[in-house]
A and B are shown apart, each in its own frame.
Chain A
Amino acid sequence: MPGSQATHSQTVAVHGEAHNPALLHHFAEPQQQRDAASLGMWIFLATEVMFFGGLFCAYLIYRLKYFAEFSAASKTLALSLGATNTAVLICSSLTVVLAVYAAQHARRSMLLGNLILTIILGFVFLGIKAVEYNEKFEKHHVPGPSFQFSEVNVPGHPGQYANPSHAQIFFALYFVMTGLHALHMIIGIGIFVWLLVMAWKGRFTPEYNTPVEMGGLYWHFVDIVWIYLFPLLYLIDRHP
C-alpha cells in the first residue's frame, strides 16, 4: 500500500494549504483529508454489507428449505411496483452521479437540480413502498398475531397448499429486509437534503466536494442492496 506514504512525505514542506478553511487541523493537506474520508466511507459501506449480509444468509437458508412457500409468497408481491421501484432507484443513481460531476465542475444549477431530483426519486421509492406495505397489511401478510396465509397454492403444484408458518418466515424476512432498506433510504434522503442546503449556500467547489462524493457512495450502496433484494424477493417464481 505505497500510495499514502509517498503523498505524505511530499507534504512536509508545504504549509500554504493551511489557509483552506475546510482543511481540518490534524491533516497535512486536503488530498490526505479527502483520501481519509473516502477510505472511511468505503469501510463504513463494508460494515453495511455485512449488516445486510446476515439477512441474506437467513434468506438463503430458508429459501432452500421452504422453496414452495417462498415461491407462493413471492408471487403475492406486486411485481410491477417492485420493478418500478428498481427503475426509480437506478434513475436516482444517475442523478446522484451527475450531482457529483456537477460539484466537481462547479455547475451550480446542475448540482442543485440533480440533488433535488435524487430527493424526489427517493420519496417516490418510499411512496411506492408504502403502497406495497399497505397492500400487505390489508391482505394479512404482515407477520405477527394477525398473519393469515391459508389455502394459497404452491406455484407449479396444483392442489398443494403452502404452509402458513413457513410463508410467515418469508414475510418476516421480506419486511425486515425491505424495512431496513427503507430505513437506509430515509437516512439517505436526509443526507441529500443536508447536501442540498450546503450546495445552496455554495459550500461546494471543485476543490472541496467530498461530502457530495461520500453521500453519493452511500446512495449507490443503498441502490445495490435493492438490486439484489428485487430479484430475490419478487422474482422467485414468476412462471405464468
Chain B
Amino acid sequence: MSEHSSSPLKTYVTIWLTLLAGTALTVYASTVDLGHFNAAVALTIASCKALLVALFFMHIRGASEKLVKLVVIATVFFLLILLALSMADYATRAWS
C-alpha cells in the first residue's frame, strides 16, 4: 500500500490526464513525416504511458520490496532478448 497519504486521488487523476494527452500526442506524431523515427517516437510514447500505468496505477512506485521491480525488469529483459537475438539473425542475413 502506498505511503503517500497526500491525496493519491489527485495523483491518479493527473496520471489519467497525462495518459490521455500522450494518446493525443502519439496520434499527432504519426501524421508528421519523421521517416524512420516515427516508430521510435511511437514506441517511446507508448513506453512512457506503460511506465506511468505500472508505476502509479499498479503501485510499483509505492512498493516497499524490490522483488516486484525485479520481476518486471527480468520479464522485460527476457522479452528484449527474444526480440534482439531474433533480429540478430534477420538483420544480418543480407550480409552473407
A-to-B contact residues, CB < 8 Å = 1, 3, 38-39, 42-43, 45-46, 49-50, 53-54, 56-57, 60-61, 64-65, 79, 83, 86-87, 90-91, 93-94, 96-98, 101, 104, 216-217, 220-221, 223-224, 227-228, 230-232, 235-240
Contacts and interface: CB of A to CB of B under 8 A. Distances in A.
Contact of B53 (A56, A60, A220, A240): A220
A166 B88 CA distance: 22
| Most chain B Cβ neighbours within 10 Å, of A50, A83, A227 | A227
Given A42-B71, A90-B19, A98-B9, A228 B86 contact: no
Interface residues of B, number: 45
A45 B74 CA distance: 12
B64 to A, nearest CB: 7
B27 A94 contact: no
Interface string B1-36: 100000011001100100110010011001111000
| Most chain B Cβ neighbours within 10 Å, of A42, A65, A96 | A42
B3 to A, nearest CB: 13
Contacts of B26: 230-231, 235
Contacts of A42: 68, 71-72
